[in-house]
A and B are shown apart, each in its own frame.
Chain A
Amino acid sequence: MRDVAIIGVGCTEFGELWEKSFRELFVEAGVSAIQDANIQGGKIDALFVGNMSGGRFIEQEHLGALIADYSGLASLHIASTRVEAACASGGLALRQGIIAVASGYHDIVIAGGAEKMTDVDVETTTHALTAAADREWEGVMGATFPGLYAMIARLHMHRYGTTQEQLASVAVKNHHNGSMNPKAQFQNEISIDAVLNSIMVADPLHVFDCSPITDGAAAVVLAPADVAKKYTDTPIYVKASAQASGTLSLHDRPDITTLDATVAAGNRAYRMAGLSPKDIDFAEVHDCFTIAEICALEDLGFVKKGEGGKATESGMTAIGGEIPINPSGGLKACGHPVGATGVKQAVEIVLQLRGEAGKREIAGAEIGLTHNVGGSGGTAVVHIFGRER
């Protein structure tokens, strides 16, 4: 196995991008990653495309071929593969790219993700997203994604005394971070009261507890670590790439308030990198709902089980806090184009570690972690990146 580095990153703006198509979004992110890496298209061996539901959102499958074609790489006949794991599709595409380089099968690989969610109406989008849960035993009973995470939140509140204000403090912090990210879907600050007074979606989650519907794409260029310095002075090294599965249905989870796939992927990643949660300087975690960030803090070992709400309220996870979480604004404020999210998280880590994150820069950060979840926890992908190999 070879060590792998990220030598280039690219990301579109996130939002309701009515004027841009799926293929344009991916190509935009891919081309900016290639330019950032300062390589020629002809150097690329393989392409991994993370996407959850092109079939439902744009009635298009066979996305590997589509993207290779519109990236001008079909004439070179490069290997191009679409990767799907619901909202973890991007993180998994990145992991497939890393494995491809680490194994020696390919040298220069593009791993990207894209989702075009606003070409259909909101109900169709919601229905498509519900396919990440168990259609036969959750969806058909009236379960929605906010509903599933609301049930996690309800039990977390009951068991650990977590409050709605603590949930809201996740959204407030992520909007603050998003206000410093020019690519974020929401760049406005919000207050605790604004969250608590927003429309109830699934009690206790308000609409401001939920990540939005977003169009967007992100991509990175991967290379063997040994040659990374040929392309860039500031390669960012992959210190761990881990993936774990959990039950598809929330009701089958041994503990409803623990995403045990996150625990497993986190532990594997820490072991692989020879690090512990204390060594992580900052993280981009999967805050599809405010409660999800609280669970992620706990399940990744940054705080004890049950203390994620208090930690967020205390400012521990703010930029400048002990462990800044979601400096990009997270899924909540930066936006959540599901297939792109896991790759965008890695793009943010790279920008931060290179010192290119502008106003939201975390001073002195050396090691960053990404955490990407599919569904209610059926898939979890954790990556650890560092400035040093």
Chain B
Amino acid sequence: MSVPRFWRRLKNVYNLIGTQCENCGMYYYPPRSLCPKCRRSSLIIPFKFKGEGEVLTYTIVHSATKDFEKHVPYILAIIKLNEGPNLTSQVICSPEEIHIGMKVKSVFRKLGEESEKGMIYYGTKFVPLLNHSGK
């Protein structure tokens, strides 16, 4: 992805900032400039998500694209945020630990790097909400 294209969405990616529709109250992450429910763009405001949710489904990726080949195997998941919306991200835990319904929270991590340009992506990943010692 080009540098301007990545920078444009930095604040959303780094801080889990999405949007909320002031008209119907729905939360959106990734952010949207138009509420798909109301289809009115003027009433959309930024919203910072708490970053807690649960694993809706997951996979362990063994074969990746160039940007991620150094990171295999990694856990890719769809996370349901407590505020409502779902997003795609990675979960950092052991393959034995990951399961549907697992409670997770967001952390700031390196996402990947572009092989040709050497650009490194940072962004939000998720970790188990309760660590082992905290039990």
> Interface on A for B, CB 8 Å cutoff?
123-124, 126-127, 130, 134-144, 146-147, 150-155, 158, 199-205, 249-252, 256
Contact = CB atoms under 8 A, between A and B. Distances in A.
B86 to A, nearest CB: 4
Contact of A203 (B62, B64, B71, B87): B62
Q: How many residues of B sit at the interface, in one of the four size bands?
A: 35 or more
A142 B112 contact: yes
B9 interface: yes
Given A136-B9, A137-B30, A142 B90 contact: yes
B87 A127 contact: no
B62 A158 contact: no
A158 B59 contact: no
A150 B88 CA distance: 13
A141 B29 CA distance: 14
B58 interface: yes
A5 to B, nearest CB: 39
Interface of B: 1, 5-6, 9, 30, 56-69, 71, 74, 76-78, 86-90, 95, 100, 111-112, 121, 123
B100 A146 contact: no
Given A141-B88, A141-B89, A251 B78 contact: yes
Given A136-B9, A137-B87, A140-B112, 11 more contacts: A123-B66, A136-B5, A139-B65, A140-B121, A142-B112, A147-B61, A151-B57, A151-B59, A153-B59, A199-B63, A251-B86
Given A137-B30, A146-B63, A147-B61, A155 B90 contact: no
Contacts of A151: 57-59, 76-78
B100 to A, nearest CB: 5
A151 B90 CA distance: 12
Contacts of A252: 86
Nearest to B89: A141
A144 B64 contact: yes
Nearest to B30: A137
B100 A158 contact: yes
Given A142-B74, A155-B100, A150 B59 contact: yes
A244 B62 CA distance: 32
A158 B64 CA distance: 24
Q: Which of B61, B77, B86, B95 has the most CB of A within 10 A?
A: B61
Given A199-B62, A202-B63, A142 B78 contact: no
B3 to A, nearest CB: 13
30 contacts: A123-B66, A136-B1, A136-B5, A137-B88, A138-B88, A140-B6, A140-B111, A140-B112, A140-B121, A141-B88, A141-B111, A142-B61, A142-B74, A142-B76, A144-B64, A146-B63, A150-B59, A151-B59, A151-B76, A151-B78, A152-B57, A153-B59, A155-B56, A155-B57, A200-B62, A202-B60, A202-B76, A205-B59, A250-B78, A251-B56
Contacts of B66: 123-124, 127
A139 B111 CA distance: 11
A373 B4 CA distance: 31
A123 B121 contact: no
Contact of B88 (A153, A158, A249): A249
Contacts of B78: 151, 250-251, 256
Contacts of B90: 141-142
A147 B68 CA distance: 13
Nearest to B90: A142
A126 B65 contact: yes
Contact of A154 (B88, B100, B111): B100
Contacts of A136: 1, 5, 9, 30
A152 B63 CA distance: 17
A144 B112 CA distance: 14
B56 A142 contact: no
